[in-house]
Amino acid sequence: MSEAAVKSKTVLFQITRQDSPDSNPYVEEFELDYRPNMNVISALMEIRRNPVNTKGEHTTPITWDMNCLEEVCGACSMVINGKPRQSCTALIDQLEQPIRLAPMKTFPVVRDLQVDRSRMFDSLKKVKAWIPIDGTYDLGPGPRMPEKKRQWAYELSKCMTCGVCLEACPNVNSKSDFIGPAPLSQVRLFNSHPTGEMNKADRLEEIMGDGGLANCGNSQNCVQSCPKGIPLTTSIAALNRDTTLQSFKNFFGSDRV
């Protein structure tokens, strides 16, 4: 493309905005001059520098979350052309125009494209998605994981709590307590760790109750939408087996089942 052609090309955005958590959403259009290698984040930055819509009206800058800008932190999740994804890796050249940006519906809107992902973080707390250790003294090196287990566990550890899998899951909504695929996968990750395994029963008990595994509808949207390619449905299948064994242990009152 010649330099003159690049200068004449523009990019049209239709952005769903919301001034406060309680206000009604509305759509506002913005048009930018095209630049090679633009992504959605760089376009939003350009709009923020000069917040003038297609009607020529000066408006408020767009609000959204971002941090690392390299698909690691998970903060910049939003719905782009109808699909939840990371806006830092959404390249303008690969998107159909007009480019439609909207906040994820699974989480409460704070403002514009910024959402409150507390629901997901609260679920991680609920399932104890951490390894509890006493940091007041040196425990020395922990037990080593077998290489075969470490390889698949590493894939689960790539989760960046972006919330995309929860947005894609039809069973995660305001009328359901389902904790969603990401917290479930983290249960499998921490239960597989030699030290984290000591809380395995507690985690399994938590997902056996309301909002746990029984609420999964097996739509498999989560594994298709995960930007890190995490085998979420494999984790859910493995947890179904683990919770079945745990229920037998509970029934017979034995750890040898």
181-208 in b/e form (b: 16+ CB < 10 A) is bbbbbbbbbbbbbeebeebbeebbebbb
Tokens of 234: 């494999």
**CATH class of the domain at 3-115:** alpha beta
**What local confidence, expressed as pLDDT, does residue 144 receive?**
86
What is the pTM (predicted TM-score) of this model?
0.88
Q: What is the pLDDT of residue 100?
A: 98
Task: Confirm if 180 and 166 have CB atoms less than 8 A apart.
Answer: yes
pLDDT of 177 strictly over 50: yes
How do residues 205-238 score in pLDDT, each as one tens digit? 999 999 999 999 999 999 999 999 999 999 999 9
* Interval 126-147 mean pLDDT: 82
Look at residue 1 in the predicted model and tell me its pLDDT. Answer: 44
Which of 60, 59, 57, 89 lies closest to 76 in space, CA to CA?
A: 89
Percent of the chain scoring above 90 in pLDDT? 82
User: Is pLDDT at 36 greater than 80 in this prediction?
Assistant: yes
Residue 7 pLDDT > 70: no
- Whether the pLDDT of residue 17 is over 50: the answer is yes
Residue ranges, CATH 3.10.20.30, the chain: 3-115
CATH number, span 118-252: 1.10.1060.10
pLDDT at 155 over 90: yes
Contact 222, 233 (CB under 8 A): yes
Residues of the chain with CATH 1.10.1060.10: 118-252
